[in-house]
Chains A and B, each alone.
Chain A
Amino acid sequence: MKLRIRHSDYEAVRQVAAVSFNSPLEFPPETGCILLLGRNCHSPNPSLTVAGVVRAGDGDFEHQGFDALRFSSRYLRRALLEVRERGLAGFLTVHTHPMATDHVEFSPYDDACDPELMQNLNELQPEAIFGSVVLGKVCAAGRVWDKDLEVFRPLSEIVIAGERLEKLPHGGSTGIAPSASAVFDRGMALTGRGAMAELSAMRVGVAGAGGTGSLVAELLFRAGVGEILLFDFDVATVSNLNRVLHLRSQDVNNSRRKAERLKEVIEQSGLSTVVTVVSGGDITDAAVAGELAGCDVLIGCVDRDWPRLVLSEIAFQYLIPYIDIGTEIGVATGQVSSLDVRASYVSPDSPCLLCSGLVDRIRLEGYGEQELERVLSMGYSTDIRLSAPAVMDLNMKAAAWAMLLLRHLLQPFLDSPLPHSIRESITNFSTRTRFYTPSPACPICGDTSRGGAGDSYPLTVRRIV
């Protein structure tokens, strides 16, 4: 089981742990906190998500010494009541081993005492998940209690999502990263061996397999991504041939799904990337959206607001980094007035696409699908549809931004902090970065109970009754 934590929560944990690791004392004290959990029940890629940090207050540790730490029952109870109130999945206790630097493991004392606590917590909240994390100075180890077998199961990874996409060295040093095959040798300067290893184990969800999505998929498999999940329900049409990579007129004649054609080409390349075409493909459908939660990174190549909204919600609830790209050709009085490329990065700590204005609530609200079609045909809405002008050369720039941002998340080379949006204007040769302020009233990033809540928070999707 994987644990995902957003960068700001991880920083909060490290701040708490500073007393153990940044202290001038010869024997600094142990300390700790509690991580509230959300649950992502995706099969076969389930994970736990950190939905909040419960810091200790006065009297919350009954004993705090260099060799031992005792959480009071009142502190544990506070976390338990919050789990009940918010309908969360459970919690993990976190404690430090101040003498551990780059390798840490649970002590025999932890092993002796923890099972009884876990049994007690499960007796109080039978369906919940409980466990513990031990922190070393630059590493961590974690485990969750299997109440049926009465054993601990180790957390497989601790992933920190934010400015970067990091994996905390689990237990100890991750050792020497496996070497990239000769295929990727020329990319090593940008994506080194460690990042390559991450990339090759990564499931990347690409929403949209059209003009930009097909290019993104191409870049991903040539970068060595482990698995690409394609979400697209469209079949090939004549108007796609100008910009959807690998699409042939015979695919149009056979009304073939664009995603299926991409899968075929990528698999014929002989590289190791696995491609999965997600059945249905429409991410506004509940079952399909659930598949997004099994990805490690999401790339949105869609031109509609509703799918972007769903991707934003997934990013916040499941702590999955989301890169959204788009292009726009502005035409006024028969002339090109603008050629714009945009790449937005939605991390669990940054404003969502609603707050950055890319998803328009007015466009989302008020219209059913059928009505929206009617409104669009009458020219009353600005929602971009396939009839909007689009060319491959412009799409390529957007796809390139997506791939570069993903590489940066694994091995940074761009300035930080990452802007929330990068906009390139071709007509006047300029690139601008934008930072937005999240709205406290935003139902996605302004809702503090949503971040990391996982399955316990409903998505704005169609549900098949």
Chain B
Amino acid sequence: MTQLNQSPATAEQIEEIWLEDAESAIPDDAGRAHLSTGSLPERLLHLRVRISVQAWPKGEVEHLRVKLGDTLRQVMYAGGEELKRPILPPRPAKPLDVLRVRMPRHEWSEPIQDLETPIWMALASGYSRHFAIEYTLAVQINARWGVAEHSEMTPRELLNQFGFEPSEYSLYKSDGKDPLPPDESIHLSRGEKFEAQKDGRYGGAAVCVQDSFELEFDALAPAGLEAVVHSHNGQTYLEVSNVVVPSPPWSKARAAILFAVPATYPIGGLDALYVEASLSHSSGTVPYQQGVSVIAGKEWRLISWHYTLNRPWNSRSDDLSSHVEHCRGFFMTRGVGQ
């Protein structure tokens, strides 16, 4: 690295020699001398320094000039334009792409976190003038930008990653009229735009499902019931594991059950249940079984176990816990009684 510290530091000389030589260290009067004050004299701020930029890790190197007063963020955007691959998302949003600087042994630094640092200060602190931009798989959904976790993702995964609940939102190509199949992988390109469109929920008699359901859901754990909510083809299901069942005749002492929660819950009541397909009965057949379905990636037996006319679902007194008890009745009645 050329040292120019001994040279008389006029602005003209700096421009002529140091600014053009990408391997030169910053002269004292243009850099280190001002580090303690944190500001550079006005006449130096506008000098343009030659730097190199490349796509990380092994892109073609391009050169450009930036002002000593520019921040690393400005350097990064200028570099993106020089490489003809603009930084994403466009300004003024925070870039999702990453800026790195070449270290003394030619290895690349970790991503630079503080992009607001002026380049003169970075150079004075020991940065080289060789930068690299790590282009990420930045994609946009509605107004939100994010870095896709994989180049092949399903719409459901993308929605989840961007904070959209897949049971309420569908993913569309920008200006597309049909939703992308939620579980079919799509190949993602950098800068690709999607739109997450919500469904519309209204109800005259329905009460606030969310509040009621969430409160009851929270009450399951203290009662010793482990519960997980699944969304499958737009339907909400609740899986409750560790339900105690009599064994024998059942093959296990604890089983997982699943039931559908209607959109209108609790006015629209719970009914029937699914039991995990791995649970068997000593008789060889599972009583009241209607069929086998795959829900949320697991096999379940649908059991035709209903409230009776004398004792129908009551939205004022029944809840998730009481329905689990109602379901346990199936194991007790059909199990012990048989």
A: residues with CB less than 8 A from B are 30, 32, 62-63, 65-78, 80-81, 84, 93, 95-100, 107-110, 112-114, 116-117, 120-121, 123-124, 126, 132, 134
Contacts and interface: CB of A to CB of B under 8 A. Distances in A.
Interface string B20-44: 0000000000000000000000000
A65 B202 CA distance: 10
B169 interface: yes
Contact of A70 (B169, B177, B199, B204): B199
A124 B263 contact: no
A77 B202 contact: no
A63 B260 CA distance: 14
* B-side interface mostly: loop
Contacts of A66: 205
Contacts of A70: 199-202, 263
Given A78-B177, A120-B142, A73 B203 contact: no
A108 B207 contact: yes
B201 A117 contact: yes
Nearest to B199: A73
Contacts of A100: 204
A74 B179 contact: yes
A68 B268 contact: yes
Contacts of A62: 199, 234
A134 B199 CA distance: 17
B51 to A, nearest CB: 37
Contacts of B211: 112
Given A67-B268, A77-B177, A120-B142, A109 B198 contact: no
Given A30-B203, A68-B263, A93-B202, 15 more contacts: A32-B202, A68-B206, A68-B264, A74-B179, A77-B179, A78-B177, A81-B177, A109-B203, A109-B204, A112-B210, A112-B211, A120-B196, A120-B197, A120-B198, A134-B204
Interface residues of B, number: 32
Given A63-B263, A81-B175, A71 B205 contact: no
A318 B20 CA distance: 65
A109 B177 contact: no
Contact of A109 (B168, B169, B178, B201): B201
Given A108-B207, A120-B142, A113 B172 contact: no
B263 A77 contact: no
B209 interface: yes
A77 B200 contact: no
B134 to A, nearest CB: 28
A63, A71, A78, A97, most chain B CB atoms within 10 A: A63
A95 B198 CA distance: 17
Contact of B197 (A68, A76, A97): A76
B199 A109 contact: no
A72 B267 CA distance: 21
A124 B204 contact: no
Given A68-B264, A74-B179, A124 B202 contact: no
Nearest to B144: A123
A112 B178 CA distance: 27
A95 B201 CA distance: 10
A116 B168 CA distance: 10
A69 B206 CA distance: 10
Contact of A117 (B172, B198, B205, B267): B198
B170 interface: yes
B202 A95 contact: yes
A71 B208 contact: no
20 contacts: A62-B234, A68-B205, A68-B264, A69-B203, A75-B200, A77-B179, A78-B177, A99-B205, A108-B208, A112-B209, A112-B211, A113-B202, A113-B203, A117-B200, A117-B201, A120-B142, A120-B197, A124-B195, A126-B143, A134-B202
A110 B203 contact: yes
B206 A123 contact: no
A98 B204 contact: yes
Contacts, number: 124
B204 A73 contact: no
A74 B170 contact: yes
Closest 7 CB pairs of A and B: A71-B200, A67-B205, A97-B204, A68-B203, A113-B201, A120-B198, A73-B197
A62 B199 CA distance: 9
Contacts of B178: 74
Interface of B: 142-143, 168-170, 172, 175, 177-179, 195-211, 234, 263-264, 267-268
A305 B177 CA distance: 43
A123 B199 contact: no
Given A67-B264, A84-B175, A73 B198 contact: yes
B140 to A, nearest CB: 11
Given A73-B179, A81-B175, A123-B143, A67 B198 contact: no
A109 B208 contact: yes
Contacts of A110: 202-204
A132 B201 CA distance: 11
B191 to A, nearest CB: 18
Contacts of A67: 203-206, 264, 267-268
A77 B205 contact: no
B213 to A, nearest CB: 12
Nearest to B168: A116
Contact of A132 (B196, B197, B202, B206): B202
A124 B142 CA distance: 6
A123 B202 contact: no
Contacts of A114: 200, 202
Contacts of A132: 202
Contacts of A78: 177
Contacts of A121: 198
Contacts of B199: 62, 70-73, 76, 117
Contacts of B209: 109, 112
B288 to A, nearest CB: 26
A32, A71, A112, most chain B CB atoms within 10 A: A112
Nearest to A75: B200
A77 B207 CA distance: 26
A93 B197 contact: no
Nearest to B234: A62
Nearest to B209: A109
B112 to A, nearest CB: 31
A107 B207 CA distance: 8
B142 A30 contact: no
Nearest to A94: B202
Contacts of A109: 201-204, 206-209
Contacts of B170: 73-74
A76 B201 CA distance: 11
Contact of B142 (A69, A98, A107, A123): A123
Given A98-B204, A99-B205, A77 B267 contact: no
A107 B210 contact: no
A76 B198 contact: yes
B202 A68 contact: yes
A68 B168 CA distance: 15
Contacts of A99: 204-205
Contacts of A126: 143
Contacts of B142: 120, 123-124
A73 B175 CA distance: 13
Contacts of A69: 201-203
